[in-house]
Structure 1
């Protein structure tokens, strides 16, 4: 991450942001990351633009669930002391690998995967999706979030993880190492074309870590292919969308923007 705000970010934000609304960027970034990960794992013909289409029969989802279950069993045999600290899936799923899109067999596959996520992996309801969300594209966001959470948990069993999960682990390790924040530096991030009397600051606290606005909120910034990603709390967002939601100068009437005394 070379620069932010008024200084250009070479290739990172501009390439992928322009074709999409700010609110769609983070979802596209997650699909792109998950698609590359699934392609590497299983050789699937899948891209961000064909993400749901490539998975709608549920066959790849069920195969992945069974691989996660096998990885958990191997962990339990090899490292029982670590396995006792984790929730491990005890059973896999039945699957019809020849199911065609839109058929009852495909819906059964997806339903079996969903049931496995709830029962065996204990995925929270807020991250779960329903069969129609994938088959009829009703809620692609929850489908993506559920897959990311499964990948996050499976990485604890020794399975390879998407880049986003790897970055999460790096950030968590950094937080474990650092008890006190280093002194802040001069503001690095300022929204472009800002005319507010008091500009919305993003102050660099350390490499890849910033304090935003007038609060003590910390965010972690990472580059994910052509996206500038922000991790705050337990989730991910793109920098563009994050600023659209929090910087009063950039918020529109459709944004959930905190109230601020700043003028525009």
Structure 2
């Protein structure tokens, strides 16, 4: 088995200690995606600094508009898809926290609202990025732009690709018709820290799949097993990557994003650990005992 596969199957799951730290996984995904798209020096640790002048954001908006234009030329306007037809003007040499940087960010925000139809609940304000007032909404806005742009052929972050995979699975189970959007070539999915599956022979592929599945299941079981109550918080495996939790009929979809166990429930993402922290009364009590920060409001 290759070194890359060995590393992936033995990589530890990053612990999350607060309700906000699941943003780390989203920032990591966005940073890698932007780095690959534009060959810029960006990672999870400097993503806000890399974007705070607004120049990369505006350049990205123009790139999304260009891809939308190519889509329109090929398919025409599609009612189900919001297609931007205008880009933004910006100053590429703007310095952080200057008027020009704020103007760049403001132009990007206006473009998101007017041309991508991003709703206010997912929008951010200039100070949210410049002064770090609302990191969460900034991240959610970038993900929503990526989500909408992926519908007309823009390369998507891995998290958005996982969403599409889950939605496709749900459609197949419910035997729903495919979306009326013209078929597009989907961006190739990339799995972090594993070798290209196309380059594996059949033996190596099944070894990788077996190890990946084993690690995936063991990580889920490990997170669940932290409950020490006589009657443990129930979590039943329905199928691969799908679980029923608690005493309700709630279904969650579980995926591994790099070294994070992520949960898709309803229309959003969370880490499995944080999801259980909110819903398992035993874990809520344990966290309040060991946490150095005031406990959050939990759902019981």
Q: Deviations over 1:12-62 (max 9, x none)?
A: 42xx22xx5232331000000000000000011111111100000000000
Q: Please state which structure has a larger fraction of its residues in helix.
A: 2
Residue 257 of structure 1 corresponds to 298
Q: Aligned-pair distance for 1:10?
A: 4.3
SS at match of 2:109: helix
Q: Which runs of 4+ in 1 moved over 6 A?
A: none
Work out the CA distance in 2 between the residues paired with 1:12 and 1:33.
17
For the aligned residue pairs, the C-alpha RMSD in angstroms reads: 1.7
Greater alpha carbon shift after TM alignment, 196-205 vs 49-58: 196-205
Please report the TM-score for the alignment, with normalisation by the length of structure 2: 0.76
Query: Is the contact between residue 12 and residue 223 of structure 1 (CA under 8 Å) also seen in structure 2?
Result: no
Work out the CA distance in 2 between the residues paired with 1:117 and 1:160.
18
Work out the CA distance in 2 between the residues paired with 1:230 and 1:171.
11
Residue 184 of structure 1 corresponds to none
Unaligned runs of 5+ in 1: 1-8, 181-187, 260-264
Work out the CA distance in 2 between the residues paired with 1:59 and 1:129.
16
Unaligned runs of 5+ in 2: 1-8, 176-219, 289-294
Residue 130 of structure 2 corresponds to 135
Please report the TM-score for the alignment, with normalisation by the length of structure 1: 0.86
Work out the CA distance in 2 between the residues paired with 1:134 and 1:193.
37
- Cα distance, 1:10–1:255 mapped onto 2, change above 3 Å: farther
Pair 1:194 & 2:227 matched: yes
Residue 18 of structure 2 corresponds to 22
Pair 1:208 & 2:203 matched: no
Q: Deviations over 1:127-147 (max 9, x none)?
A: 000000000001111000000
Work out the CA distance in 2 between the residues paired with 1:156 and 1:30.
20
Residue 11 of structure 1 corresponds to 11
Residue 108 of structure 1 corresponds to 103
Work out the CA distance in 1 between the residues paired with 2:169 and 2:12.
24
Pair 1:220 & 2:261 matched: no
Q: Aligned-pair distance for 1:87?
A: 1.3
